[in-house]
Amino acid sequence: MKKIFFSLILMMATMQLFAQDNGVEMADSLRSNGKIYVVVICIVIILVGLLAYLFSIDKRLKKIEKENHIEK
């Protein structure tokens, strides 16, 4: 009886492993509460900064083109 009970407990323990969907580890829970949003915000700030910088270069270039009378 003790043996059967013990093996049943062991089987119950392994059931948890099968419960996870296809067993591939992904950062699903990490995305919700693992502060991944902080990383997203940082990346977006960097991208916005660099793109704004590109726009400012573009603007300056337009000014220089005007001074040099370069046709569009």
By CB under 8 A, name the binding residues for other proteins: 21-22, 24-27, 31, 36-37, 39-40, 43-44, 47-48, 51, 54-55, 57-58, 61-62, 64-65, 68, 70, 72
C-beta closer to other proteins: residue 10 or 70: 70
Residue whose C-alpha is closest to residue 1's, from 37, 9, 35, 39: 9
| Extended beta strands in the chain, E state | none
Residue whose C-alpha is closest to residue 70's, from 55, 57, 62: 62
C-beta closer to other proteins: residue 8 or 34: 34
Residue 71 in tokens: 């046709």
C-beta closer to other proteins: residue 10 or 41: 41
